[in-house]
Chains A and B, each alone.
Chain A
Amino acid sequence: MIDVASPAAASAKRAGWWRGDGSEPVRRNLGLVGVLVLLYLVGALARPDIFLHGGRLWSNELTVLTQASSIGVITIGMTFVMISGGIDLSVGALLALASVWSTTVATQSYGPGVMILAALLVGAGSGLVNGILIAYGRMVPFIATLATMVAARGLAQKISGKLTQIVKVTSFNRIAEWRPLGIPLLVIIFVVVAVLAWVLLNRTTFGRRTVAIGGNAEAARLAGINIRRHTLLVYTLSGLCCGIAAVMVTAQATAGSSDHGNLYELNAIAAAIIGGTALTGGRGTIVGSVLGVLVFTQIYNLFIVKNLQTEYQQIAQGVIIVAAVLIQQFRVAALRRPVPPGA
């Protein structure tokens, strides 16, 4: 495979850990783990009765992981899109559409299997529409997914009649209640999706092509990659992730609603960015994105267990995004600096 993520690759040969060699993502992820450890320390100071108590800590962290699972799956899909150099603003709206579609009176009458299938098909199908608009309609991803974001929310409102569609199929709601071996099923789904995504990104040609297209689309095309078809697949994958997340959120809320997934697009982009995914494409890791989601969810949890107002939490979230992007900027600046002789 041709390495097209050229600036990072070229500098990898240069010495100096600050310049970002091949292990840069690993260090960044360690940094995020450090942030998580810091958050636990803050928790231990603020609520020692929870964070220094094995059983309660376990229970609390399982809650954090459960609440992170749906946005986590969405962020994983978003990571592929962003690595390929695109953006998907429609994820929250697609989640809402899939949740509404899978919980109409008609769909519910077919039972949990069809409800899950409907959510996955609507998600993947809508993602396919995004892909067609971008790959074959030659639309800018930002505009195309902005349009589908608005349209999908509208369609969700049309189907639901702006009502909350309460799920009466109790076996479906059990998705959010079932805890095989004490681990919530939603967390297991999240982990499985993350592992599959890691393999797909790092161990298959699909993943390498995604990185190649995002790094330099023209070079990737010259190397023989069918960019259009690949773009189509990447957006369909993101849509499928929305469908999976829709099943998770619907089971958690025990209802489908055109309000579900509100602001998920921004949360997913933010989590991917602090996880080291470049908005310009060509760079990003699944582990980083997962850690990014966990950092945000853990902060949210800390504010609630400490009984603080949520606006502080939004401020903290903003500060973290700015800090993460600044670090990224400094790193890029360091890359561009000429290497002094003998360094």
Chain B
Amino acid sequence: MNPFTNGPSRRSILFGGAAVGAGALLAGCTSNADNSTKNDTGQTKVTGGDNAALGKTVTIGFSAPAADHGWIRAITDNAKKQAALYKDVKFSQVDAGADAPAQIAALQTLIQQKPDVIVLLPQDGAQLTATGKAAMEAGIQVVNLDREFSDAGAARLLIKGDNYGMGLAAGQYIGAKLKGHANPVVAEIAGIDNLPLTQDRSRGFRDGLAQYGLKVTNRVAAQFTVQSGQDVTANLLQAAQRIDAIWNHDDDQGVGVLAAIKQAGRKEFFMVGGAGSLDAMEHIKSGDSPLEATVTYPPTMASSAVSLARLIGQGKGMSDLVELQVPKQIVLTSETITKSNVDKYLPLGFRS
């Protein structure tokens, strides 16, 4: 008989107890209940007038990618919340999967269910065009959200943000402020470089700066994630000893950009953000960082898309327009948020 196998040793009781205790401690740590203000009341809207009146019930199918990104998350949240505001809207969301083929498969199931309208933010505009067409041919109206189909016939309505305009607005803001500086250093922190949206933003930025005779001196590309934002910025700040202005394409990665700036102790420049997250707006309001403006690319477009999908389903037009139907295309303008107007925009800010 081995005396050591007679039951748990002191050591195993000690370690077992520690493990149980650690487990209990950790389990209590997963709560994310946030007592601070839930700041999303401004991201949905129902206007009065004839269009608000209860109409024919419209079934709206919805599909958007689900990346770990504040903006993308806000798109889905806004669509859901906007739909919940209408008593005559039935909302049915399908998972967009991880890539375009997965989203196509999911949409085929949705088309079988014959909703009245489908609101679709494609994983990839070109790859989802055929699916949009198939839905239209099946008698389902398609609202194409943000990422454009390669064929306009595949959607009843396109509603999207203005990536070029966003870059242009950032370039003009920086250009106006740096006018008269000798050899200003302008840095650009882009998002994922091979996306058309990043290329459009950069083109707009170059054009905006060019109006003031300026050029981008240093350009880096992050991955739309906080960690990549921190990483490229830490290195960028070594590349340029003096910087006059930075434009960062994306407020989500901007959390990391601002962290790297703080860690390097740099403050000789000002920074412009992009998208319009709540965090960015709070920094602009308090003035505690170089971030002094951000150019919007609002995820509230999803709320608007659901509203318009309802009108399309009911055969109604937009009340301020003369036409009897919703227009074919809506491009949102990119607005510049600064300390002077940030209070107006705060309710629109999304959590990153």
Contact = CB atoms under 8 A, between A and B. Distances in A.
A253 B235 contact: no
B131 interface: no
A107 B29 contact: yes
B235 A305 contact: yes
A257 interface: yes
A86 interface: no
Interface stretch (B1-9, B85-93, B224-232, B295-303): B224-232
A67 B234 contact: yes
B203 to A, nearest CB: 16
Interface in B64-98: 66-70, 73
A175 to B, nearest CB: 10
Interface string A3-46: 00000000000000000000000000000000000000000000
A325 to B, nearest CB: 26
B239 A160 contact: no
A262 B227 contact: yes
A159 B227 contact: no
B200 interface: no
Contacts of B31: 104-106
Nearest to A260: B227
Interface string A48-69: 0010000010011001001100
Contact of B256 (A253, A258, A300, A310): A253
Nearest to B218: A307
Among A63, A260, A304, A311: residue with most chain B CB under 10 A: A304
Contact of B193 (A110, A117, A310): A310
B235 A258 contact: no
A161 B239 contact: no
B30 interface: yes
Interface stretch (A76-84, A118-126, A133-141, A209-217): A118-126
Interface string A303-316: 01111011100000
Q: Which interface class (under 10, 10 to 19, 20 to 34, 35 or more) fits A?
A: 35 or more
A148 interface: no
A259 B25 contact: no
Nearest to B279: A166
Nearest to B221: A310
B73 to A, nearest CB: 5
Contact of A257 (B227, B232, B239, B279): B227
B33 A105 contact: yes
A177 B262 contact: yes
B28 interface: yes
B340 interface: no
Given A101-B30, A105-B32, A260-B227, A307 B262 contact: no
B84 to A, nearest CB: 18
A253 B255 contact: yes
Contacts of A163: 70, 73, 351-352
A94 B311 CA distance: 46
A164 B255 contact: yes
A176 interface: yes
A221 interface: no
A201 interface: no
Contact of A159 (B30, B67, B238, B279): B30
Nearest to B229: A253
Interface of A: 47, 50, 56, 59-60, 63, 66-67, 101-102, 104-107, 110, 114, 117-118, 121-122, 125, 157, 159-166, 173, 176-177, 249, 252-255, 257-262, 300-301, 304-307, 309-311
Given A118-B26, A125-B26, 17 more contacts: A118-B29, A121-B22, A159-B32, A160-B32, A162-B73, A163-B352, A164-B226, A164-B352, A176-B259, A252-B230, A254-B256, A257-B227, A259-B225, A259-B226, A304-B220, A306-B239, A311-B193
7 contacts: A67-B235, A106-B30, A106-B32, A161-B73, A164-B255, A177-B263, A311-B193
Q: Which 9 A-B pairs have the closest CB atoms?
A: A106-B31, A304-B235, A305-B239, A107-B29, A254-B259, A259-B225, A253-B226, A60-B238, A162-B68
Interface of B: 22-23, 25-26, 28-34, 66-70, 73, 193, 217-221, 223, 225-232, 234-239, 241, 252, 255-256, 258-260, 262-264, 279, 351-352
